Structure 1
Amino acid sequence: MYPLFNPNYIETKFLFLTGKGGVGKTSTACAAAVALADRGEKVLLISTDPASNLQDVFNIELTSIPRAIPEVENLYVSNIDPEASAKAYREKMVGPYRDKLPAAVVVTMEEQLSGACTVEIAAFDEFTGFLTKSEIVDQYDHIIFDTAPTGHTLRLLQLPTAWNGFLEESTHGASCLGPLSGLADKKDLYAKAVSALSDVARTTLILVSRPESSSLIEADRASRELKEIGINNQILIVNGLLQEHNESDEVASTFYMRQSEALRKIPENLKQTKIYSLPYVPYSLTGIENLRSIFKPYKAKVIEANVEQKEINLPGLKAVVDDFSDKGTKLIFTMGKGGVGKTTIASAIAVGLVEKGHRVHLTTTDPAAHLEYQFQSEQQNERLTISSIDPEVEVEKYKAKVLEQSSKDLDEEGLAYLKEDLESPCTEEIAIFQAFAEVVAKSENEVVVIDTAPTGHTLLLLDASESYSKEIARSTGEVPESAKNLLPQIRNPKETAVVIVTLAEATPVLEASRLQDDLRRASIHPKWWVINQSLYATNTTDPILKGKALAEQEWIQEVHDKLADNAALIPWFHEEKIGYNSLKDFIN
């Protein structure tokens, strides 16, 4: 459908790869770096992903100092640790105030600097030198960045008010002020970096997506957001495209048809972009030879007959539902990265509990009103009620309130910065959490299942804000009573359970692990992990999908043995489970 991507198409010095977790950014970046080096060009590959597996791909220990890859002449790799950068950055900002301000104020400052915005800006701070310092840039023909900064971060860095004293005077309750407060001495350097990113002669942005609707929607969002700030030299790589329609295997045939349908509905903005593809492969993209094979003419690798699938005994979703029913759990969150099936799993848990006689309220923040699609107006049980919290509505309400409270004290530039800061992902989380709290507060004598939950960072930020407001007259944010009441309830394991949903692949599992660490910081301990859409749990005989099923074993074992207190495994179903009766298949 789309031509096979080849790095020979790339002529710019800088390549930035972006896309949601699990789409194959790192493997694509590594394979491109190897291919460019093989044609005689000197290449530097840099990762800023907190869960980077570059060292696994190349089987070599890496640091922030570029290191030569022995098997590939001309290739150098650097692995920046943004978490370590963020920690150092955080201490630089908070340290001077530890003995000068009340402890509760210091806690709030630390939490303001603990979110994703701080990590991203600290990472940007690290790799700015690779964009702007001639002694580095002039050494290489190409510099490839695995994981690009978001449009939100770049817009923040462009705003003039990010560099003045406004940050020290702000009294509003949003989230990204803290991360920017230490950057004033680097204004010119960041301006040069942003300029390099938007120069079509120097930079190519590679959007990486799977042939799945949610992944393509995320790529479209990133594309439009980055175009808004002048990054227009973009291409799209559809990664993991099944090349052949194997009608003799039901799993493979359905898999192929679903991919084709998702690509048929590709967003209009992306249709205007140059689109390439990479094949779905059964092997792990680690090791130099596997990386080299990805850009060669497609050739299926047949699974050898002596390769056997190990037996890993995990229960299905019925065990999760039985556990919640038996223990009288009242509040259930499903959490995980986009595209892993949180909404479907939340819906299936709700249906399962209803079938066991409970009254259940199911709610979500899916902007596409996915629950309506999931049930197709087919609730078929009076014990189930459904609502949908509209993120756009809730965020606008929250922003309007903050602007009303703060705008009278700001000049025009200060107001511009405040409005941009309110566009952060953390603002949305806080606004949605407050809406969730109102839903829970109104619910009595029923189980509440919530799809798309707040992160541990958001919960700690709200908790810290409450303490902060008691210490000083000007509050960092007004926390409603419903939210105050919900915070301790979420931390009570007798009332609340968190379900982490993931796929049996490296990036989703690593990101889910970070999510669990984040929650534990907030004294919340996930009860179950659900591994969704597993080919390992099917009986596919297709050589490509069978190979993928065997590759899943490592990550299923990782979840079972090391990460989860309790784990469940759900197979990749032949058909999409739509409607109340179909969702019962998850628990039968």
Structure 2
Amino acid sequence: MRFLKEPTRNLFFTGKGGVGKTSMACATAIQLADKGLRVLLVSTDPASNLDEVLQTPLRNTPTPIAAVPNLMGMNIDPETAAAEYRERMVSPYRDTLPEAAIKSMEEQFSGSCTLEIAAFDEFSRLLGDGQATSEFDHIVFDTAPTGHTLRLLTLPTAWSGFIEGNTTGTSCLGPLAGLQAQQQIYQKTVESLSNPELTTLVLVTRPEPSAFREAARTSLELKHLEVSNQHLIVNGVFSCESSTDPIATAMQLRGNQAIGSMPEEVNKLPRTTVALAPSGLMGVESLRKISTPSGNSFASVTNKVSSYSLPAGLAPLIDDFAQMGRGVIMTMGKGGVGKTTIAAAVAVALAERGFEVHLSTTDPAAHVATMLAQEELTGLTVGRIDPAEETAKYALEVMQAAGPSLDAAGKALLEEDLRSPCTEEIAVFRAFAKAVSEGADRFVVLDTAPTGHTILLLDSALAYHREVTRQSNQMPETVEKLLPRLRDPDFTRVLIATLPEATPVHEAAQLQEDLRRAGIDPFAWVINQSLLPLDISDPILRQRQHHELPFVEEVKSSLAKRVALIPWQTEPPIGLAGMRSVAEPTTIAAH
């Protein structure tokens, strides 16, 4: 890895779920420790699988990794830290506010922004307090802070006590009021992150267009915050060993095309390419092999998967949807798992059965019309909920309601809060409410649905609304009716999309828990881009097939009521024909 020729003291790994950032962080830490350097490897991911990858139980304090002298690892649980902040903020009001208001505050401080600040607080002790890590030569962080977190913490007004006196109930800034004692450490942390001699930000991606777009967005946002020392790792690049295997040759071609057309923001970064491993990178020895030039010094298997019990495609689920006659179908899941493709395939299949269908997405990178190749289909309409547009409208409402009572510093802080992920969640949620209402007389297929936290946040806000005006005194009728509709299995059915890999499956399991907490039970899981149904001769891909089996079995046996499996497509699913191939694939293996 090129960035290890002259490594900085701090190395941050970032990337969306499933791209391999934990594996790359572990491999980096091991290589540094193997050189005799003292290394601390830290994860702040609530769904961390650092223990699994290193095959060592970890705690929230540095733990020696027996197989790697000089390496220590630790898992920081930001959920626990966020819970402590939440209680710190809410407890003073337990005896003075109504129970509905307390419930709303508690849910308000359960979102992604509170978690961001809590995570930042935890690793800022390691980055900003030199005494805390003086025994180590390098600190490797699995999961970097977001641009929103860094912007928020660089605002001097965030430490002015404004939060404690404001009545708008802003959701993202509250924890900061309890962290003013940390101001100096936070400032040093932000300074360290922007110092190229101290810190390297490593963007991990897969050779896929959507992953490159996400990496480019992250790179640009952090560069604007002066986090300029960046490096790109393209993980999972496949080179086929069998030119007679059409699946293998197609996979190599698709990867090469994605790399050749990656966005300029990441194409100009110094780059390390890591070959696709034939199985999960678990254990120290497999991680050490990443350092080889080819990255393919892994043992492979030649035997086929002996049994396979799931039908390929979405057809059985679509049969059930058709019996509903109308209603809402939502695809949910982490970025990069194929939610938009699955939603489009369902919409096309229902329209071809004679139903009126409206397909909509909020993904700024998902151009559904382009995905359908501009082809028209009787009964199908396509739209898009623009997160930026909806957020701007919502932010304007909040500023008009709260802004007149604030001074310039207060307005600046509120404006920053309104650029947060939580604000976008609520704004998009309101647009979803309007779209869902249309499911009363036709099918509405929604890609990128609200999270369980958002649903609960709105639920508590409905009760709180009668007691206290929080951000807006307007509650649209579609929003008031939305929760019962989402919780009605005869009106709404949720598909959880995932990939047959550890991180996407475990993150999807957490999503399902959040939904059930909000009173929504997913209808089915869709495992996308699976090699299991395919007839493959390439030895590396055959081992990948074997690697998928335990994760597919985990979904089938303990997570999902129903499961659909979509095979990896030799051609990118574009146009009506591509959507049909997702719903009812014809290329399957004969087991």
Indicate the TM-score class for this superposition, using the shorter chain for normalisation: over 0.9
Q: Which of 290, 313, 316 lines up with 1:316 in the alignment? A: 313
- 1:455-474 alignment, distance < 5 Å: 455-473=451-469
Distance in 2 (CA, whole Å) between partners of 1:275 and 1:499 is 36
- Indicate if the aligned counterparts of 1:7 and 1:36 stay in contact, CA closer than 8 A: no
- Indicate if the aligned counterparts of 1:175 and 1:422 stay in contact, CA closer than 8 A: no
Distance 1:330 1:376, change over 3 A: same
Q: Deviations over 1:479-522 (max 9, x none)?
A: 32211111211111111111001100111111111111111111
Distance 1:96 1:476, change over 3 A: farther
Partner of 1:380: 377
One-letter code of the match for 1:226? L
Distance in 2 (CA, whole Å) between partners of 1:478 and 1:15 is 46
Distance 1:306 1:376, change over 3 A: closer
- Indicate if the aligned counterparts of 1:395 and 1:428 stay in contact, CA closer than 8 A: yes
Distance 1:284 1:6, change over 3 A: farther
2:245 is the alignment partner of 1:249: yes
Q: Compute the TM-score of the two structures, normalised by the length of structure 2.
A: 0.95
- 1:341-380 alignment, distance < 5 Å: 341-368=338-365, 370-380=367-377
Q: Deviations over 1:258-308 (max 9, x none)?
A: 111111121112123111111111022111110111111324545334574
Partner of 2:560: 564
Distance 1:271 1:304, change over 3 A: closer
One-letter code of the match for 2:429? F
Deviation at 1:581, TM superposition (A): 3.5
Q: Which of 262, 265, 272 lines up with 2:261 in the alignment? A: 265
Distance in 2 (CA, whole Å) between partners of 1:398 and 1:173 is 15
Partner of 2:208: 212
Distance in 1 (CA, whole Å) between partners of 2:284 and 2:208 is 28
Distance in 2 (CA, whole Å) between partners of 1:357 and 1:50 is 44
SS across alignment from 2:444: strand
- 1:84-233 alignment, distance < 5 Å: 84-172=80-168, 175-233=171-229
Q: Deviations over 1:205-259 (max 9, x none)?
A: 1111111111111111111111111111111111111134743211111111111
Q: Which of 486, 497, 507 lines up with 1:511 in the alignment? A: 507
> Number of residue pairs matched?
583
Distance 1:481 1:180, change over 3 A: farther
Deviation at 1:13, TM superposition (A): 0.7
2:417 is the alignment partner of 1:445: no
Structure 1 residue runs of 5 or longer lacking an equivalent are none
Distance in 2 (CA, whole Å) between partners of 1:162 and 1:416 is 10
One-letter code of the match for 1:334? T
Distance 1:477 1:162, change over 3 A: farther
Q: Which of 49, 71, 74 lines up with 1:75 in the alignment? A: 71
Report the aligned-residue RMSD: 1.8
One-letter code of the match for 1:317? L
Partner of 1:59: 55
SS across alignment from 2:466: helix
Partner of 1:337: 334
Q: Compute the TM-score of the two structures, normalised by the length of structure 1.
A: 0.95
- Indicate if the aligned counterparts of 1:117 and 1:179 stay in contact, CA closer than 8 A: no
- Indicate if the aligned counterparts of 1:462 and 1:479 stay in contact, CA closer than 8 A: no
- Indicate if the aligned counterparts of 1:173 and 1:476 stay in contact, CA closer than 8 A: no
2:9 is the alignment partner of 1:13: yes
Q: Which of 219, 231, 237 lines up with 1:235 in the alignment? A: 231
Deviation at 1:187, TM superposition (A): 1.2
- Indicate if the aligned counterparts of 2:11 and 2:199 stay in contact, CA closer than 8 A: yes
One-letter code of the match for 1:321? I
Segment of structure 1 superposing worse, 27-36 or 293-302 = 293-302
Q: Deviations over 1:379-438 (max 9, x none)?
A: 222x21111122221111111222222221111111111111111112112111211222
Deviation at 1:476, TM superposition (A): 5.8
SS across alignment from 1:498: strand
- Indicate if the aligned counterparts of 1:300 and 1:544 stay in contact, CA closer than 8 A: no
Distance in 1 (CA, whole Å) between partners of 2:399 and 2:58 is 45
- 1:292-303 alignment, distance < 5 Å: 292-298=288-294, 299=296, 301=298, 303=300
Distance in 2 (CA, whole Å) between partners of 1:388 and 1:203 is 39
Partner of 2:27: 31
- Indicate if the aligned counterparts of 2:235 and 2:274 stay in contact, CA closer than 8 A: yes
Distance in 2 (CA, whole Å) between partners of 1:114 and 1:477 is 22
Partner of 1:400: 396
- Indicate if the aligned counterparts of 1:429 and 1:458 stay in contact, CA closer than 8 A: yes
- Indicate if the aligned counterparts of 1:240 and 1:281 stay in contact, CA closer than 8 A: yes
